[in-house]
């Protein structure tokens, strides 16, 4: 075997995940709220960045397309814009929609009611403790023994305070389980029928499974009477605290990124500023960069300027990508924006990726968590992507969206005879009449996704 040394020249191609590329990918998948939070953080760390309320000239936009940038030349291009002390918070539009009052919590609401009672200091302490022990649904999560161990109070005082809190609004609050919750509400409504309380205490599972016949035999009632009792119990609130904000949680609102608007009879796509805010370099620092007498400051500014320029470029790329994706979606789903959900066509990420010559992962990041306002309502961009089935009619290559099939399934169930609800197999046969050839298992899957119970649970006896 001959062993020797040698030099070989080999050319390879690699994709390197640079910090700039990682930032671009990260910004693309951000929602508009997350993007604005990220920009606020960047502006705190980089004093060169500020919001731009003026439209950039073509010359300024073209700077971002250069690979190598002469920063001093870049700074000179802004000389026609006079410097003003910029306050980003002042630029935020002040509207009544932005002024959301803090929502009252369940604990606050109960404490206000507790203060109306004349109680001893120890009783008030126990009352506060019980209220703080309620979960977001208004249920008491601790047993009496747990409260005894923590508060060292008398058993009678704890029982008294639980009873008092259970008389508060909303009805059912302070309960230990679902049965007690519904029982308290029926008592509050002064229900006289003992059968109601018997069903609440012993037959809640039968209500869930719609076992009207079995309960009627046990209570010696006819099925119509039991059906009416079931209907009443279903009107009670199983989660009395659900209407309140829990632990001062902040309500997160949907902030649409794109708007589809009809202007002069033509549909126009508008990417909102919240989805791609306009940024620029602060005028004060541009002047410092051009000042040759401040070399130390220029070195600092040059470092920050590189980061700022890249962020501005990345946000603009994000805007362009969102626009291209939405435009491609609109071109494929024009009928939806005229006729509604039934006109939605099957469409995949691959379809859009091929049309605008981007990778599927880019389309996924662009559509995830982004919303569009249309004449037909507000939708997440992901909504327009769905698989499809070939229509079963002869000489037809048309593909039907699963959303259209689900809507037809829902209409079939809504129009059925509730005394003889359709089985999944019967629904399969009904769908064939509409030209949808799908299996019984698929029908069951779609029914569950639409929160439609099985035929046995949909049956009524009145």
pLDDT at 291: 67
Cβ of 210: how many Cβ atoms within 10 Å?
Answer: 19
Superfamily of domain covering 389-462: Homeodomain-like (1.10.10.60)
The predicted-structure confidence for 330-356, as pLDDT tens digits, reads as follows 999 988 888 888 888 888 899 999 999
Domain residue extents for the chain? 19-83+268-319, 106-234, 389-462
pLDDT at 194: 93
pLDDT at 162: 93
Q: List the pLDDT tens digit at each of the 462 positions of the chain.
A: 567 677 778 787 776 667 767 777 888 888 888 888 888 888 888 888 888 765 444 433 343 444 444 545 544 444 433 333 334 443 444 454 444 455 678 888 999 999 998 889 999 999 999 999 999 899 998 888 888 888 888 899 999 999 999 999 999 999 999 999 999 999 999 999 999 999 999 999 999 899 999 999 999 999 999 999 999 999 999 999 887 765 545 556 778 889 998 888 888 998 887 777 888 887 777 777 666 666 666 777 777 888 888 888 888 888 899 999 999 999 999 888 888 888 888 888 999 999 999 999 889 998 988 999 998 888 999 989 887 776 654 444 566 788 888 889 999 999 999 889 999 999 999 998 888 888 999 999 999 999 999 998 898 887
135 torsion bin: left (phi>0), alpha (psi -120 to 50), beta (else): beta
The predicted-structure confidence for 103-128, as pLDDT tens digits, reads as follows 678 888 999 999 998 889 999 999 99
């Amino acid at each position: 075997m001959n062993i020797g040394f040698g030099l070989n020249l080999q050319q390879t191609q690699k994709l390197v995940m640079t910090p700039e590329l990682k930032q671009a990918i990260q910004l693309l998948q951000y929602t508009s709220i997350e993007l604005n939070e990220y920009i606020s953080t960047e502006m705190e760390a980089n004093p060169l960045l500020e919001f731009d309320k003026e439209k950039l000239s073509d010359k300024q936009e073209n700077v971002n397309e250069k690979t190598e940038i002469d920063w001093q030349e870049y700074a000179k291009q802004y000389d026609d814009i006079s410097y003003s002390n910029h306050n980003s918070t002042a630029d935020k539009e002040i509207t009544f929609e932005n002024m959301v009052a803090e929502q009252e919590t369940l604990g606050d609401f109960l404490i206000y009611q507790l203060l109306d009672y004349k109680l001893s200091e120890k009783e008030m302490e126990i009352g506060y403790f019980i209220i703080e022990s309620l979960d977001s649904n208004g249920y008491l999560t601790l047993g009496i023994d747990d409260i005894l161990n923590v508060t060292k109070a008398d058993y009678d005082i704890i029982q008294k305070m639980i009873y008092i809190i259970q008389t508060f609004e909303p009805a059912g609050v302070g309960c230990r389980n679902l049965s007690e919750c519904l029982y308290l509400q029926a008592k509050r409504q002064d229900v006289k029928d003992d059968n109601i309380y018997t069903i609440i205490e012993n037959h809640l599972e039968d209500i869930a499974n719609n076992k009207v016949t079995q309960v009627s035999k046990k209570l010696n009632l006819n099925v119509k009477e039991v059906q009416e009792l079931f209907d009443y119990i279903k009107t009670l609130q199983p989660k009395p605290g659900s209407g309140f904000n829990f632990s001062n949680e902040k309500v997160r609102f949907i902030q649409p990124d794109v708007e589809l608007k009809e202007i002069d009879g033509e549909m126009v796509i508008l990417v909102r500023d919240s989805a791609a805010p306009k940024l620029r370099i602060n005028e004060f620092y541009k002047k410092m960069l051009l000042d040759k007498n401040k070399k130390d400051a220029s070195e600092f500014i040059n470092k920050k300027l590189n980061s700022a320029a890249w962020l501005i470029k990345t946000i603009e790329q994000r805007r362009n990508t969102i626009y291209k994706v939405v435009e491609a979606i609109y071109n494929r789903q024009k009928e939806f924006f005229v006729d509604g959900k039934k006109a939605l066509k099957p469409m995949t990420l691959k379809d859009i990726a091929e049309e605008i010559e981007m990778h599927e992962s880019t389309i996924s990041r662009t559509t995830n968590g982004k919303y569009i306002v249309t004449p037909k309502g507000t939708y997440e961009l992901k909504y327009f992507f769905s698989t499809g089935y070939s229509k079963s009619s002869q000489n037809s290559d048309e593909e039907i969206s699963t959303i259209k099939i689900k809507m037809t399934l829902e209409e079939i169930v809504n129009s059925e005879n509730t005394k003889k609800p359709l089985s999944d197999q019967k629904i399969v046969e009904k769908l064939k009449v509409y030209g949808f050839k799908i299996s019984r298992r698929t029908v069951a899957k779609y029914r569950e996704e639409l929160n439609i119970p099985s035929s046995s649970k949909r049956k009524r006896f009145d």
